[in-house]
Amino acid sequence: MDRMIYVAMSGAKETLLAQASNSNNLANANSPGFLAELQQFRSMPVFGDGFPTRVYGLSERPGIDFKHGDILHSGRDLDVAVAGEGWFAVQAPDGSEAYTRRGDLVVDINGMLTTGNGLPVIGNKGPIAIPPAEKVDIGPDGTISIVPLGQNSDEIAELDRVKMVNPDLADLKKGNDGLMRHNEDAPIPADAAVHLTTGTLESSNVNTVNAMVDMIELSRRYELQVKMMKTAGDIEESSASIMRMS
């Protein structure tokens, strides 16, 4: 059988992978601090016996769109956004230290300070626990202060400080969980120069219009690859028919 059908099949497969990445971006268009994944196609010649007359399509992720999302004013005390460059440190589901710009912080039922998707925020002493309090404040430098339960508003206790980092973007990689990590999976030292703005949230940087256009384009590309597979099958059937006639 001619290799045309395998070329078309690989193109359809790679298009589905690109569509999955684009759909993930679109699904997170309203997720605070989400960074879109970039996607590109490139040609890969098929090398073997003879001249490489066939070229496969390859979908790959060349990197992450590090452009910041818009800063939205929410007025909520525990909503924070990184002012400029930098990241929050959080504890990933596997227990490792990871980094995000998602700042919709909450205090869960166990008294842990977490992001909106349930990841514990890391401070100078590890994950931050918040005791019962009348009020919780987060300062521009990440310092967490509380008014203990039953105390007057002028009796403020300082608990911890949110760990914030500002590594070179070239040293970061994005995992399948959407979190950023150091290329060598090593913890990044805290950077005291990173500051926060309170009562605000950074939105996703996904451009929904571009994502929808990409979805339509990828769907049409997939349909074209399927038609090529059918054409390859028709050619093979015609060739077989001619051979039977002879």
Confidence of residue 233 (pLDDT cuts 50, 70, 90): confident
Q: What is the pLDDT of residues 61-99, one digit of tens each?
A: 888 999 999 999 988 889 999 998 999 999 999 899 999
Mean pLDDT of 104-121: 93
CA-CA distance, 223 to 100, in Å (whole number)? Answer: 37
DSSP the chain: --THHHHHHHHHHHHHHHHHHHHHHHHTTTSTT--PBP-EEEEEE--SSS----EEEEEE---B------EEE---TTBEEEESS-EEEEE-TTS-EEEE---B-EE-TTSBEE-TTSPBBEETTEE-B--SEEEEEE-TT-EEEEEETTS-TT--EEEEEB-EE---GGGEEE-TTS-EEETT-PPPPP-TT-EEEETEEEPP---HHHHHHHHHHHHHHHHHHHHHHHHHHHHHHHHHHHHHH-
DSSP 177-214: TS-EEETT-PPPPP-TT-EEEETEEEPP---HHHHHHH
Q: What is the pLDDT of residues 158-188, one digit of tens each?
A: 889 999 999 999 999 998 888 999 998 889 9
Confidence of residue 203 (pLDDT cuts 50, 70, 90): very high
Among 169, 206, 204, 194, CA closest to 83:
194
User: Is 245 a residue whose pLDDT tops 70?
Assistant: no
Domains of the chain, residue spans: 4-65+206-245, 71-202
Share of the chain above pLDDT 70, in %: 98
pTM for the model stands at 0.81
Share of the chain above pLDDT 90, in %: 54
